[in-house]
Structure 1
Amino acid sequence: MAIGFAPARTASASSRLARTLEAAEWTAAGIPLLTNPREVVKDLHTRHLPAPGTAVVAVFSPDGRLTASASFAQRADSTDGWERRNAILAHLRRVTSDDLRRRHPVRTAVLLVCRDGEPGWTETDGAWMWGLRDACSLYGLRSGAYITLTRDGWHVIGENRGGRTPQAASWSQAPGGAAALHPTGAPEALRRAAAR
């Protein structure tokens, strides 16, 4: 019988794989349902005009009122939930205080990711979901819905709810959307990280 340690590279790869969630795991986690997902998506889209490659994190009060939100560019090549979590935490810190002193979480964080590709679950979505859940835990928030915005429309992962509009190209159809581009191809508002 041989005793030894797995090579560091293998251990690192397996730990990265563990920082992701399948759609079924997300559903089984008992994520609270959005009362009116269409209105949530429309509101976040109007505030941030996300283009593909943009994520929007939003915090809602117990009565469902939006209290803070921020949009930010995302790295398309990463499927590591650790990086996703750190990005979410950094932007939560910019727009709202934590709820760590509360005995139980009362506010809920929702994540909308605008991306290219099919509307169904992907490995990148799994990393975002892991990142959202972990960021919420570290910040004293409840983990809320994970929403994708593609050219097919919007879709709440883990639920059978979605719609055709807005969709991933809607930002370019907004007044001044195509005219207000900066070099990365996203709306000018994203440069200011539209935190409202």
Structure 2
Amino acid sequence: MTFGFAPSAATPVPSATASAGSAGHLSRMLEPAEWAAAGIPLLRSPREVVNGLHARQRPTPATAVVAVLDHEERLTASASFVRHPAGAVDGWEFRNALLAHLRRVVPHDLRRRTPVRTGVLLYCREGDERWTEEDGAWMWGLRDACTLHGLRCGAYITLTRGGWQVLGDGRGGRRPSSVSRPVSLAESSLGPAPGPSRSGGGAAEALRHAAAR
């Protein structure tokens, strides 16, 4: 409702645009209850997975580490990239970034009738272990990226100053944290990933990323 004048046909209506954008944004995130109800497979040894990824990728706040595990929970490939601080908190954008990095480091499994490998995501961020809308957007993005790459969607893990937390699972620990020093790869059960390490090319929205295969 307006008073004194009506907007012209050529004038955008900010409230309507914002409302549509907000609805789209909210549809591209998952609440913890939705994530738990999705039947995400539990990691047998989450601490070992977290230690291995932390040792390999050495994430700092705003770094996403996406990894592919085989049926025995061994690391097949991993990649890390930094989320641009000015970027939108949108599952669509996160999905696209995750999918682009998955495509760089491991072939898709779309020809398989059922997924054999599992995609997991560790996100290092500020704040505490409680769920945020940003976490919900990463969950949505991980689920969609795994589907489009022929992977089973696996755990979403946050890494903060207080330690690590598998969201929707309830398991976590104080170490590693976003400020702790990584253990050596020799101490990590994931160990060195098979094949030579390599770095991916730069992306406009990523300030840094590295991949291991």
Shorter-chain TM-score above 0.5: yes
Among residues 8, 12, 21, which one is paired with 1:12 in the alignment?
21
User: Which one-letter code corresponds to 2:116 in the other structure?
Assistant: V
1:164-183 residue CA offsets vs partner (Å, 9 max, x unmatched): 00000124x779xxxxxxxx
Q: Is the 8 A contact 2:82 2:209 kept in 1?
A: no
Distance 1:100 1:174, change over 3 A: closer
Among residues 37, 47, 63, which one is paired with 2:56 in the alignment?
47
Counterpart position of 1:195 = 212
Length, aligned pairs only: 176
5+ residue gaps in structure 2? 1-14, 185-206
1:122-146 residue CA offsets vs partner (Å, 9 max, x unmatched): 0000000000000011111000000
Matched, 1:71 2:80: yes
Residue 106 of structure 1: how far off its partner (Å): 1.1
Q: Counterpart of 2:114 in 1: which secondary structure?
A: coil
Counterpart position of 1:146 = 156
Q: Any residues of structure 2 matched to 1:1-196 within 5 Å, and which?
A: 7-77=16-86, 78-171=88-181, 191=208, 193-196=210-213
User: Which one-letter code corresponds to 2:76 in the other structure?
Assistant: T
Residue 75 of structure 1: how far off its partner (Å): 2.7
**Which protein is richer in helix relative to its size?**
1
Identical amino acids, percent of aligned pairs: 63
In the alignment, the residues of structure 2 paired with residue 103 and residue 87 of structure 1 have an alpha-carbon distance, to the nearest angstrom, of 25
Distance 1:151 1:14, change over 3 A: same
Residue 114 of structure 1: how far off its partner (Å): 0.3
Q: Is the 8 A contact 1:71 1:195 kept in 2?
A: no
Q: Counterpart of 1:193 in 2: which secondary structure?
A: strand
Q: What TM-score does the superposition give when structure 2 sets the normalisation length?
A: 0.78
Q: Which has the larger radius of gyration?
A: 2
Residue 151 of structure 1: how far off its partner (Å): 0.2
